[in-house]
Amino acid sequence: MGEHSADVAPKGKAAPRRTSIGGRRNPASASAILEAAEAILSETGLAGFSIEAVARRAGAGKPTIYRWWPNRSALLMDVYARQKETVLRVDTGTLEGDLVELLTRLFAFWRDTPAGATFRSIIAEAQSDPASLAALQSFLADRRAYVGEVVARGIARGDLPPKADLPSLVELIFGFAWMRLLTGDIAAPDADHVPDALPARVRLLLRGAAATA
Amino acid sequence: MGEHSADVAPKGKAAPRRTSIGGRRNPASASAILEAAEAILSETGLAGFSIEAVARRAGAGKPTIYRWWPNRSALLMDVYARQKETVLRVDTGTLEGDLVELLTRLFAFWRDTPAGATFRSIIAEAQSDPASLAALQSFLADRRAYVGEVVARGIARGDLPPKADLPSLVELIFGFAWMRLLTGDIAAPDADHVPDALPARVRLLLRGAAATA
Amino acid sequence: MGEHSADVAPKGKAAPRRTSIGGRRNPASASAILEAAEAILSETGLAGFSIEAVARRAGAGKPTIYRWWPNRSALLMDVYARQKETVLRVDTGTLEGDLVELLTRLFAFWRDTPAGATFRSIIAEAQSDPASLAALQSFLADRRAYVGEVVARGIARGDLPPKADLPSLVELIFGFAWMRLLTGDIAAPDADHVPDALPARVRLLLRGAAATA
Amino acid sequence: MGEHSADVAPKGKAAPRRTSIGGRRNPASASAILEAAEAILSETGLAGFSIEAVARRAGAGKPTIYRWWPNRSALLMDVYARQKETVLRVDTGTLEGDLVELLTRLFAFWRDTPAGATFRSIIAEAQSDPASLAALQSFLADRRAYVGEVVARGIARGDLPPKADLPSLVELIFGFAWMRLLTGDIAAPDADHVPDALPARVRLLLRGAAATA
DNA sequence: ACGTAAACGAGACGGTACGTCCTGTCTTAGT
DNA sequence: ACTAAGACAGGACGTACCGTCTCGTTTACGT
């Protein structure tokens, strides 16, 4: 297979030939492994993502990977955990503006960084691996809570009545975002010509939430 | 091979020893393969779904599978195509009733038949295989069209104003359903105790759609 | 694989479950593979000799075999190399006695050990694989040199004139032995009844060699 | 594999689209098969010689081949039987001349026609297939008888005493020829520079035979 | 004259083996 | 104790052939 030699070549940083630093974990190895994993994921997708390929590209031994991550899924989750630290804080003054901005920036984040490919892979992985599914669920709860806060802020601002069906609103927002990601439908809006559908989705959701009070 | 009889055994119908029926496709082999694939998928999930395993269980030769399906994804799509013929026709008299019924039955279909596991696998597969993604998109478009009809019927009935934002409504419905499936959250509603969240989601969407007119 | 135990069973020594012994070749695996190869060869001949069968019987992974032997022919050569260490040293006092004894013992070796089947296989393999042919040629040169020494000793003893056509003699001896092997004509002489043809062949060759001086 | 399309292309005679000629063997098919077999054998050797390849090249169905030849070996023997009709008749006036001429022409025949590759393949095949071995033995007996006649003629001419050990002589001649074939050592003699070893071999054998009287 | 029988090409069938890739475990040798 | 390295058993990949089977067609022969 052609990609084997290719995996090694683009390394770039000249393989600094790490070694043990004594009886404890070498952070350089850990980050080399995560970086290699991320690079492979964004370049070849989940298909090319194997422990073997990561080890090769990171210049690490396979057992070093298996010592710290029990399996492929765990490594995958760590790769995403490392990326998602980019938190998307928004405050446009209105709830509708906040949600549109949030989703727009989320789609941009998924589109323009390896995070999108990584997250798609995690969702895929979760379909066959229960541990990954659990991790995904807890991650999702975390993110829902954050969006919940954004919405709560909107309620405090009076953009939405206090008794609005917040859980439904939040769940539907995530459903929308995920489906767009999973069907590859997160292209940037073509500013002038095609009216972006995203604001329409948000508007429907907010009016529905307002009406459920 | 005699030593694989253990793999074949759970099949049930005693492996009637198919053979060629001349220079054309043997439908018995095709369906044996699809049935074996479906069974494996629902029993072990995508992880245990290998061409080799399907061949073993179907009592078929690997080349026979490769002759008719270029790869794992194609076989997967065919398995789903075979199942999805179960169309969920609903007519409760109101749009809200129709949508709640539709989603309830869809979740039951996913929960109680191999179709759920299969469809989760297809979505997962689509994350690494472009051809599968394309197939999934076209399937999705098809299903969206059907739900669009249900909604249009509601509009005709006066359950929704004619200018309601139908595309947003439909997309958000699917996003909701998919996310529930992918996060394993399609348990049957516990009739008395836990109030089912599903009708709340539908209500929010319909009120939002009504308000977008 | 459990279901292949039938293949493993006749092995005898219960498959001690080898594993890696670190970043270097495990000699236990190497010899298990060679022994399995030899056993298969002598039991089923070249027809049943497949890498897959050897791996199965040796309890080894196929990649382990391919790691150390590039192809079937190379493994075959190694099997013979392992057997041919049985060197046939003779010294009866006369050249004629030496050659008769040498050939008699060679035929017995071919007849009574797996070496005969192995060597037949190697010659067969060399007819389609150039690398095997080269290996065979070099092996043959080696063996010719040894017989050349036996003859030279005979010349030193005066059993043959110094100017005898040694190369012709040696080549004709090997041609005789090979053809007997390849046509399956190396049965043990039936001591009393059938006069053994072997001494007659040797006598003709030696008289001819003596006359070429 | 590249050679598949190549197998079909060089056919030359434009594939006259044979078909059945009624309830009996179609000789055109038989010869097309034998010709294809011969061509494959001489081009790719025994390694590329498969029933499938022959059928492809001959434009024949596999069952047509299996109908008339029980297996690969039988087809192989027929290919050689077809070629060996070229009988090498010699008469130089002396026995030594006859034998040198015979062997020289035999080597040329093996070298310059597909017969050499075919015969090597047959000998190889006989090492794993008992039926082929039997056929080879009977063919060899036939050829030995012919050479026996040549030698008998020499005896009649007085080139060898009547009591010479004819069986030894004949067997040694064939052993010599076969080993040369099997080790690929049948190059044409380099007329001027390298003294050809062949006459020396014949001379030794004839002097030895003369001395065994 | 026509139906039957056999041969034909084609190619699908259940299989075996190929040689390659990856998995997760293990051991070594070196910090 | 931890590292890079890499061998190990195992198993799936996708391909080539095996030898068998059935098809639909094409003759020739015996009614």
Q: What is the pLDDT of residue D14?
A: 42
Name residue B66's amino acid: Y
Same domain, C11 and C116: no
Residue A76 covered by a domain = no
* Positions of strand E less than 7 angstroms from a protein CB: 5-31
Percent of chain A topping pLDDT 70: 86
Domain at B111, CATH number: 1.10.357.10
Q: What DSSP line would sit under D20-82, residue for residue?
A: --SSS--HHHHHHHHHHHHHHHHHHTGGG--HHHHHHHHT--HHHHHHH-SSHHHHHHHHHHH
| pLDDT tens digits for range B93-139 | 999 999 999 999 999 999 999 999 999 999 999 999 888 899 899 99
Chains in contact with B, counting 3 or more C-beta pairs less than 8 Å apart as contact:
A, C
Lowest-pLDDT choice from A56-65, C8-17, D131-140:
C8-17
CA distances from B116 to B113, C102, C117, C167 (A): 7, 75, 57, 79
Same domain, C55 and C106: no
Q: Which residue has the higher pLDDT, C86 or D21?
A: D21
| pLDDT tens digits for range D6-55 | 333 333 344 457 888 877 899 999 999 999 999 999 999 999 999 999 99
Q: What is the pLDDT of residue A89?
A: 84
| pLDDT tens digits for range D91-131 | 999 999 999 999 999 999 999 999 999 999 999 999 998 88
| pLDDT tens digits for range D69-88 | 998 989 998 998 888 766 67
| pLDDT tens digits for range C89-131 | 889 999 999 999 999 999 999 999 999 999 999 999 999 988 8
Q: Which residue has the higher pLDDT, C32 or B187?
A: C32
Q: What is the pLDDT of residue C189?
A: 80
Q: Give C172's contacts in chain D (Cβ within 8 Å).
A: 172, 175-176, 201, 204-205
Instruction: Give the separation between CA C14 and CA A143, rounded to whole angstroms.
Output: 56
Chain B residues contacting C via beta carbons under 8 Å: 3-4, 6
Residue written as tokens 């080890």?
A55
Q: Among all residues of chain C, which has the CA nearest to that of D200? A: C168
Residue B111 covered by a domain = yes
* Positions of strand F less than 7 angstroms from a protein CB: 1-29
Name residue B196's amino acid: D
Residue C77 covered by a domain = no
Residue C175 covered by a domain = yes
How many Cβ atoms are within 10 Å of A211's Cβ, its own excluded?
17
C5 CA: distance to closest CA in chain B (Å)? 9
Q: Are B121 and A127 in contact (CB under 8 A)?
A: yes
**Are B and A neighbours with ≥3 CB pairs closer than 8 A?**
yes
Residue C130 covered by a domain = yes
Helix H or strand E segment including A152: helix A130-157
Mutate to test the interface with A, among B140, B168, B178 (most CBs of A within 10 A): B168
Same domain, B110 and B199: yes
Residue-wise burial string across B37-52, b where 16 or more C-beta atoms lie within 10 A, e elsewhere: bbbbbbeebbeebebe
Residue D201 covered by a domain = yes
Name residue C116's amino acid: G
The separation, in Å, between residue B15 CA and nucleotide F17 C1' comes to 25
Same domain, A120 and A49: no
Angle at B126 between CA B121 and CA B130, to 5 degrees: 155
Same domain, B29 and B111: no
| pLDDT tens digits for range C44-80 | 999 999 999 999 999 999 999 999 999 898 999 999 8
| pLDDT tens digits for range C142-198 | 999 999 999 999 999 999 999 999 999 999 999 999 999 999 999 888 767 667 899
Q: Which residues of chain B have pLDDT under 70?
A: 1-16, 85-87, 191-195
How many Cβ atoms are within 10 Å of A200's Cβ, its own excluded?
16
Residues 6+ apart with CB under 8 A from C145: none
Nucleotide nearest to C67 (CA to C1'): F7
Domain of A139?
82-211
Q: Which of B68, B100, B126 is the last residue of a domain?
A: B68
**Are D and A neighbours with ≥3 CB pairs closer than 8 A?**
no
Nucleotide nearest to A67 (CA to C1'): F2
pLDDT range class, residue D4, cuts 50, 70, 90: very low
Q: Are A53 and A5 in contact (CB under 8 A)?
A: no
* Residue among B125, B168, B182 minimizing CB distance to A204: B168
Same domain, D183 and D118: yes
* pLDDT higher than threshold 70 for residue A8: no
Q: Give D169's contacts in chain C (Cβ within 8 Å).
A: 204
| pLDDT tens digits for range A86-126 | 667 889 999 999 999 999 999 999 999 899 999 999 999 99
Q: Which of C17, C40, C68 is the last residue of a domain?
A: C68
Same domain, B18 and B94: no
Domain at B62, CATH number: 1.10.10.60
The single-letter DSSP state of residue B191 is T
Instruction: Give the separation between CA A141 and CA A152, rounded to whole angstroms.
Output: 16
Same domain, A110 and A186: yes
Q: Give D176's contacts in chain C (Cβ within 8 Å).
A: 171-172, 175
Residue D53 covered by a domain = yes
Specify which residue's alpha carbon is closest to the C1' of nucleotide F8: C20
pLDDT range class, residue A16, cuts 50, 70, 90: low
Q: Average the pLDDT over C132-139 and give the result.
A: 91
The single-letter DSSP state of residue C12 is -
The single-letter DSSP state of residue D93 is S
| pLDDT tens digits for range A55-75 | 999 999 999 999 999 888 889
Helix H or strand E segment including A175: helix A166-182
Helix H or strand E segment including C109: helix C95-112
Q: Among all residues of chain D, which has the CA nearest to that of C164? A: D204
Q: Are C95 and C151 in contact (CB under 8 A)?
A: yes
Q: What is the pLDDT of residue A80?
A: 85
The separation, in Å, between residue C160 CA and nucleotide F30 C1' comes to 77
Q: Given its phi and psi angles, is residue D12 left (phi above 0), alpha (psi -120 to 50 degrees) or beta?
A: left
Same domain, D175 and D93: yes
Q: Among all residues of chain C, which has the CA nearest to that of D119? A: C127
Instruction: Give the separation between CA B38 and CA B53, rounded to whole angstroms.
Output: 12
* pLDDT higher than threshold 90 for residue D165: yes
Same domain, D60 and D111: no
Same domain, B117 and B61: no
Instruction: Give the separation between CA D75 and CA D138, rounded to whole angstroms.
Output: 16
Token readout for B10 is 């759970």
Name residue D138's amino acid: S
Q: How many domains does chain C have?
A: 2
* Dihedral sign for Cα atoms in the order B19, B25, B28, B32: positive
Instruction: Give the separation between CA A11 and CA D131, rounded to whole angstroms.
Output: 59
Q: What is the pLDDT of residue A2?
A: 32
Instruction: Give the separation between CA B51 and CA B55, rounded to whole angstroms.
Output: 6
Residue A14 covered by a domain = yes
Mutate to test the interface with A, among B106, B179, B198, B206 (most CBs of A within 10 A): B179
Q: Which of D23, D40, D68 is the last residue of a domain?
A: D68
Same domain, B20 and B121: no
- Number of residues written out for chain B: 213
* pLDDT higher than threshold 60 for residue C6: no
Q: Are D147 and D102 in contact (CB under 8 A)?
A: yes
Q: Are B103 and B168 in contact (CB under 8 A)?
A: no
